[in-house]
Amino acid sequence: MIARRKTRQIQVGSVKIGGDAPIVVQSMTSTKTHDIEATLEQIKRLAKAGCELVRVAVPHEEDVEALPDIVKNSPIPVIADIHFAPSYAFKSMEKGVHGIRINPGNIGKEEIVKEIVEEARKKGVAIRIGVNSGSLEKDLLDKYGYPCAEALFESAMRWSERFEKWGFYNFKVSIKGSDVLENIRANELFAQHTDIPLHIGITEAGMGLKGIVKSSVGIGILLYKGIGDTVRVSLTDDPEMEVETAYAILQSLGLRRRGIEIIACPTCGRIEVDLPKVVKEVEEKLKHIQKPLKVAIMGCVVNAIGEAREADIGLACGKGFAWLFKEGKPIKKVSEEEMARALLEEIENIRS
């Protein structure tokens, strides 16, 4: 059991972050925010996939004007992503967003950031302080030479202390870079010195397998150390894949359970069935299920039930047949043609 770092709790709309709240999964839309229909459609798909907070880009005035409709019709709290244009932070809060994400390094003067914080307090809006390796303050780059972990940590502490000095506490911090080890170290340093909730992730992780692996390693190590109150897996991919990957990471560490977790053996010369085909069929037909359930699909009868004894239900396949088992005990022998259907039927029985 992983012991999570003790943090204070904040609130973004209806969602609690930190304290004893579950680790929150979030993503960011890839649509043009001013395209209200497309943005809401994507947000609803993300929510269905399990996303609990969504961030939208606000680079233009027309994006600001779209926010009221998006906030009103979104099934989950909406965070406005603000860069370079502090006026959009004020306007976004006026339009009703639940949170804003600002990077003080590219907002400008401290006085402007303070004004944003004061407005957030009045409006009951949460803030994420985003510290990013690509936009560190010049004095820190001059001091350290490059965006190392210590520079990222110092920037995060600097702005956190200012927020608290201004009497504002409904904020979380993210410290992100594309270098996994520097990212881990910076978050560790911050976690050692504060009780402020942390949003974790690896920025610019990339796409496909490499992006998933990079994010999984960085995020997984931090979570294993108990660090992280909300997470985004940043991928050059469909945002729904970000959500799916985030839950897979959390599930593998026993931190969240949502939907079907499939246990399948790596295959070897003992296999007498087309195991990848069976796994894909079952996975596809079960992806709509949100109830946590552990399903094992093992390629042979050697140790299969024993190795998958923690599964709620599963198959131990042999030549032309499979044993359907439940909670580690065989309950029915089925033919190869029937195995997927029999497993799916039994899962439906469990659900009902």
Q: Where are the domains of the chain?
A: 10-252, 260-351
Span 10-252 CATH architecture? Alpha-Beta Barrel (3.20)
The pLDDT value given to residue 289: 85
Q: Which CATH class is domain 260-351?
A: alpha beta
Q: Please state which of the ranges 119-133, 147-161, 287-301 shows the lowest mean pLDDT.
A: 287-301
Instruction: Let me know: does 351 contact 291? Beta carbons within 8 Å.
Output: yes
Nearest Cα to Cα of residue 110 among 64, 174, 165, 58:
165
The pLDDT-based confidence of 242 (bands split at 50, 70, 90) is very high
Burial code (b: 16+ CB inside 10 Å, e: under 16) for 167-185 equals ebebbbbbbbbbbbebbbb
Instruction: Let me know: does 259 contact 274? Beta carbons within 8 Å.
Output: no
Structure tokens at 179: 């270098």
The pLDDT value given to residue 308: 72
Give the β-pairing of 313-318 and 293-298: parallel
Instruction: Let me know: does 294 contact 326? Beta carbons within 8 Å.
Output: no
The pLDDT value given to residue 77: 99
H or E element, residue 282:
helix 275-286
Q: Which stretches does DSSP call E strand in 158-312?
A: 171-176, 198-200, 230-231, 260-264, 293-298
Domains 10-252 and 260-351 share a fold: no
Does residue 79 come out as left (phi exceeding 0), alpha (psi in the -120 to 50 range) or beta? beta
Q: Is 230 exposed, middle or buried (0-12, 13-18, 19+ CB in 10 A)?
A: buried
Give 64 or 321, the one with higher predicted confidence.
64
The residue whose two tokens read 């992100």 is: 176
What is the tens place of the pLDDT at every residue in 209-229? 999 999 999 999 999 999 999
Instruction: Please compute the mean of the pLDDT values over residues 122-139 and round it to a whole number.
Output: 95
Question: Which of 140-154, 248-262, 330-344: highest mean pLDDT?
Answer: 140-154
The pLDDT-based confidence of 254 (bands split at 50, 70, 90) is very high
The pLDDT value given to residue 205: 64
Instruction: Let me know: does 229 contact 196? Beta carbons within 8 Å.
Output: no
Output the pTM of the full model. 0.91
Instruction: Please compute the mean of the pLDDT values over residues 246-253 and round it to a whole number.
Output: 96
Mean per-residue pLDDT over the chain, rounded: 94
